[in-house]
Amino acid sequence: MDQSAVFWSRALTELTLSFHILFATLGVGVPLMILIAQYVGYKKNDAHYTLMARRWARGFTITVAVGVVTGTVIGLQLSLLWPQFMELAGQIIALPLFMETFAFFFEAIFLGIYLYTWDRFQNPKHHMLLLIPVAIGASMSAVFITIVNAFMNAPRGFDLVGGELINIQPILAMFTPAMPTKIGHVLTSSYMTVAFILAAIAAYRLLRGEDHVYHKKALSLMMKLGIIFSLATALVGDFSAKYLAEYQPEKLAAAEWHFETEAGADLIFFGVLDGEEVKYEIRIPKVLSFLASNDFNAEVTGLNEFSEDEQPPLITHYFFDVMVSIGVLMIFVSFAFVFGKWRNWQWIHSRPFRWFIVLSGPLSLVAIEAGWWLAELGRQPWILYGIMRTADGATTATGVEWLFIAFAIVYFILAIGSIVVLRRMFKHNPVEKELAMREGGGV
């Protein structure tokens, strides 16, 4: 086995997926938010919300393009970098991958129509309805790809007899134990992330002195949605941990630095590791047991139950903690804002708090990355849990390191390009100007 090819295949997969997931998350969440804004605008007959939908849709054209091209890259790269894995997995899990392309088709078609038919319908409601297939298509692509990922974590729907795959049942392979929590968590975390990013943009404009009600309305709407989706994310995250405790206990144990099996296990927050000794941590008594099985005194399997070469890397602990901390923080931020607005607290309009909201957008993206790194690194050394090791799935071709460099440059260009273009797009066309322009003719 060529270790350098394995190393670089992993590195390139990590790079592409970590980049794609940022745009994919926006792709899942933004259509829903546009739909909500346009609906509110339609119901309240308030041009501000309709304009929100319109401006977000304009920005979305850029992020969706990067999502599409990087998604195409990862889709083909799976076969290029992991040919053995795709040969094996293709026999069992090709169905949801195939269905995903229909979700893409569906989304792409209606997005094209939506973007190019503003003001073309007699009844604005019909134009709004076009967003429903876009939002469904985007969320369904996330559902299908997450089903594939769930399968990698909990393979089902076939029998392995003497190295031969028999009894393949494509439908069963889609409904793995990992699937419900994974889909739930991926969807809710995407919606939550987009709500906070859009809130962050509104807060930023307010901080820059654009004291327009448009931004206040956007901020308030997104913060309300932020509460809902951040609570849902945390709830489903808790279910995910319970799934892990039952089906992939070593992933949870590694993420919690939980070495010995014990009842009433403590939840460990941050800290550093000295051998198997945890130092400087924040310890919450018995909460790990609760997280794992809803019972403060339940037994939680420790990492030492697993042989050395099946233990996931211990660094996942920090990914887990970062994700959970951000999740909890976001619940507080959105709750403080909405509650404070209701009680007329003035400090929620203060500059420091607004800066805090600005931070919440990027932080949510950090949580997305941390969550995926936890999930994917925590599955190691397996590419297909219990069936195929990552090292056995990689390509045997040479020269992957050069491709890594080439793709790294490409993503760098895409990142800079999208930031520059998005900034220019909105700088030349501030809200006030656009509102004045559309006055009279409606939005």
Partner 1 sequence: MFLEVLGITVLWIFLLGYVIVASIDFGAGFFNAYSLVTNKNHILSGIIKRYLSPVWEITNVFFVFFFVGIVGFFPQTAYYYGTVLLVPASIALILLTLRGSYYAFESYSGVTGHKGYALMYGLAGLFIPASLSVVLTISEGGFVQLTEVGPQLDYNALFTSPLTWAIVVLSITAVLYISAVFLTWYAHYAGDNKAGMLMRKYALVTSLPLIVSAIGIIVEMRRTGNWHYANMVDLSWLFIVSGILFLATTALLWLKDKYGFAVLLMILQFATAFFAYGISHYPYLLYPYLTVHDSFTTTSMAIAIVIAFIAGLCLLIPSMYLVLKLFIFNKSYASGDEETHV
Identify what 58 binds: ligand HEM, ligand HDD, partner 1, none; CB under 5 to 8 Å per kind.
Answer: partner 1
Identify what 237 binds: ligand HDD, partner 1, ligand HEM, none; CB under 5 to 8 Å per kind.
Answer: ligand HDD
Least distance to ligand HDD, CB of residue 365, Å: 8
Identify what 328 binds: ligand HEM, ligand HDD, partner 1, none; CB under 5 to 8 Å per kind.
Answer: ligand HDD
Least distance to ligand HEM, CB of residue 127, Å: 20
What are the residues binding ligand HEM (CB under 6 A)? 10, 13-14, 17-18, 20-21, 23-25, 27-28, 64, 67-68, 71-72, 74-75, 78, 82, 85, 104, 108, 138, 141-142, 145-146, 148-149, 152, 186, 190, 372-373, 376-377, 380, 383, 390
3-state secondary structure the chain: CCHHHHHHHHHHHHHHHHHHHHHHHHHHHHHHHHHHHHHHHHHHCCHHHHHHHHHHHHHHHHHHHHHHHHHHHHHHHHHHHCHHHHHHHHHHHHHHHHHHHHHHHHHHHHHHHHHCCCCCCCCHHHHHHCHHHHHHHHHHHHHHHHHHHHHHHCCCCCEEECCEEECCCHHHHHCCCCHHHHHHHHHHHHHHHHHHHHHHHHHHHHHCCCCCHHHHHHHHHHHHHHHHHHHHHHHHHHHHHHHHHHHCHHHHHHHCCCCCCEECCCEEECCEEECCEEECCEEECCHHHHHHHCCCCCEECCHHHCCHHHCCCCCHHHHHHHHHHHHHHHHHHHHHHHHHHHCCCHHHHCHHHHHHHHHHHHHHHHHHHHHHHHHHHCCCCEEECCCEEHHHHCCCCCCHHHHHHHHHHHHHHHHHHHHHHHHHHHHCCCHHHHHHHHCCCCC
Identify what 27 binds: ligand HDD, ligand HEM, partner 1, none; CB under 5 to 8 Å per kind.
Answer: ligand HEM
Nearest residue (CB) to partner 1, 109 versus 331? 109
Least distance to ligand HDD, CB of residue 138, Å: 15
Q: Are 127 and 117 in contact (CB under 8 A)?
A: yes
Nearest residue (CB) to ligand HDD, 251 versus 389? 251
Nearest residue (CB) to ligand HEM, 64 versus 227? 64
Least distance to ligand HDD, CB of residue 26, Å: 12
Identify what 148 binds: partner 1, ligand HDD, ligand HEM, none; CB under 5 to 8 Å per kind.
Answer: ligand HEM
Nearest residue (CB) to partner 1, 93 versus 291? 93
Binding letters toward ligand HDD, positions 132-161, x by CB under 6 A = ---------------------x--------
Identify what 383 binds: partner 1, ligand HDD, ligand HEM, none; CB under 5 to 8 Å per kind.
Answer: ligand HEM
Q: Which of 28, 135, 203, 326 binds ligand HDD (CB under 6 A)?
A: 326
Q: Are 218 and 198 in contact (CB under 8 A)?
A: yes
Identify what 403 binds: ligand HDD, partner 1, ligand HEM, none; CB under 5 to 8 Å per kind.
Answer: partner 1
Q: Which of 2, 14, 210, 238 binds ligand HDD (CB under 6 A)?
A: 238
Stretch near ligand HDD under the rule CB under 6 A, chosen from 177-185, 277-285, 405-413, 424-432 = 177-185
Contact residues toward ligand HDD (CB under 6 A) are 153, 178, 182, 185-186, 189, 192-193, 233-234, 237-238, 240-241, 244, 251, 323-324, 326-328, 364, 367-368, 371-372, 374-375, 378
